[in-house]
């Protein structure tokens, strides 16, 4: 399952990058549907079918969208993996309270009302980095190029210390989907009868979705789980299962 997720994520972010950097007619003919699967663009464009697809995916597998569709989320995963190769990644992600996450979502709602969704929208940040920061499309100003590159670099670079922090602490799309992902049909569950509270599953989760106090308690925060399947197989007692 994890390998399938990684392959899908790799294909998704590659196709999205090509679309943004090489806007050829042929690419749009075959891959033009990908941007319409991004939640905020789909909402703004009134793409009912795309919204239905996203809703069904959340109902079935939680925030799987964040792992295989969102390019900024996939970029954070890639950054974390690369940093782990050189042992620069902090294993324990930093967490903030749920109220703070919802506060950030409220701020985003205000930005939507003001027409400033691109400031912290994940697709907007990734798209601006590729088109403005890398491709310099439209002859952008130096300030805009610096902003596009600096914001993207800051987000992916912070994975060295906080895991996939943007998705679970600030991202409005992640917070919104997290409100419903806890009711997903297919999600990680802990069998309390088998769990010995060793905390291995929490160590395997770099998203901060599994909270564990060794010897005391283990719990999964479904609203923060992005269905990356890294925790799958980490439990030696078979207490953590996806079902």
Range of weakest confidence among 66-75, 86-95, 104-113:
86-95
Decide if pLDDT at 89 tops 60.
no
- Which runs of consecutive H residues, i.e. helices, occur in the chain? 2-21, 25-31, 39-45, 48-61, 64-68, 71-85, 98-113, 122-128, 142-157, 159-162, 165, 172-181, 200-204
Decide if pLDDT at 94 tops 80.
no
Residue with tokens 């809703």: 55
Q: Is 111 exposed, middle or buried (0-12, 13-18, 19+ CB in 10 A)?
A: middle
Can you give the pLDDT at residue 85?
A: 77
Can you give the pLDDT at residue 216?
A: 83
Q: Average pLDDT in the 232-236 region?
A: 86
Range of weakest confidence among 40-54, 63-77, 137-151, 152-166:
152-166
* Distance in angstroms (rounded) separating the CA atoms of residues 130 and 123: 11
Range of weakest confidence among 17-31, 139-153, 199-213:
17-31
Can you give the pLDDT at residue 92?
A: 60
* Distance in angstroms (rounded) separating the CA atoms of residues 180 and 21: 33
Decide if pLDDT at 166 tops 70.
yes
* Distance in angstroms (rounded) separating the CA atoms of residues 107 and 112: 9
Can you give the pLDDT at residue 104?
A: 74
Can you give the pLDDT at residue 75?
A: 92
Residue with tokens 């992916």: 156
Please give the model's pTM, rounded to 2 decimal places: 0.85
State the Cα angle at 120 between 102 and 71, rounded to 5°: 105
Contact 212, 169 (CB under 8 A): no
User: Is 100 or 89 the better-scoring residue by pLDDT?
Assistant: 100
Q: Which two tokens stand for residue 184?
A: 């997903």
Q: Average pLDDT in the 110-121 region?
A: 69
**CA atoms lying within 13 Å on the CB side of residue 36:** 14
Can you give the pLDDT at residue 97?
A: 67
User: Is 142 or 21 the better-scoring residue by pLDDT?
Assistant: 142
Q: Is 70 exposed, middle or buried (0-12, 13-18, 19+ CB in 10 A)?
A: buried
**Sequence ranges of the domains in the chain:** 2-181
* Distance in angstroms (rounded) separating the CA atoms of residues 78 and 54: 23
pLDDT band at 168 (very low <50, low <70, confident <90, very high): confident
Contact 38, 69 (CB under 8 A): yes
* Distance in angstroms (rounded) separating the CA atoms of residues 92 and 84: 13
pLDDT digits (tens, 9 = 90+) for 52-75: 999 999 999 999 999 999 999 999
Q: Is 114 exposed, middle or buried (0-12, 13-18, 19+ CB in 10 A)?
A: exposed
User: Is 49 or 102 the better-scoring residue by pLDDT?
Assistant: 49
Contact 195, 114 (CB under 8 A): no
pLDDT band at 116 (very low <50, low <70, confident <90, very high): low
């Amino acid at each position: 399952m994890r390998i399938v997720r990684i392959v899908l994520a790799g294909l998704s972010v590659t196709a999205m990058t090509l679309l943004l950097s090489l806007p050829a007619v042929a690419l749009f003919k075959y891959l033009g549907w990908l941007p319409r699967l991004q939640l905020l663009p789909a909402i703004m464009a009134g793409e009912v079918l795309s919204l239905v697809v996203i809703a069904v995916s959340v109902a079935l597998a939680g925030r799987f969208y964040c792992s295989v569709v969102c390019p900024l989320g996939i970029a954070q995963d890639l950054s974390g993996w690369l940093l782990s190769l050189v042992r620069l990644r902090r294993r324990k992600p930093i967490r903030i309270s749920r109220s703070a996450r919802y506060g950030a979502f409220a701020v985003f709602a205000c930005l939507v009302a003001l027409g400033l969704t691109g400031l912290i929208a994940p697709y907007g940040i990734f798209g601006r980095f590729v088109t403005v920061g890398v491709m310099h499309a439209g002859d952008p100003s130096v300030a805009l190029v610096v902003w596009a590159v600096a914001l993207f670099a800051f987000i992916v670079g912070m994975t060295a210390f906080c895991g996939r922090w943007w998705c679970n602490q600030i991202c409005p799309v992640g917070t919104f989907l997290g409100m419903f992902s806890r009711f997903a049909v297919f999600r990680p569950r802990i069998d309390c009868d088998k769990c010995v509270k060793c905390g291995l599953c929490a160590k395997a989760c770099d998203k901060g979705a599994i909270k564990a106090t060794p010897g005391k308690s283990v719990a999964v925060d479904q609203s923060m789980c992005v269905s990356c399947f890294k925790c799958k197989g980490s439990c030696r007692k078979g207490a953590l299962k996806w079902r």
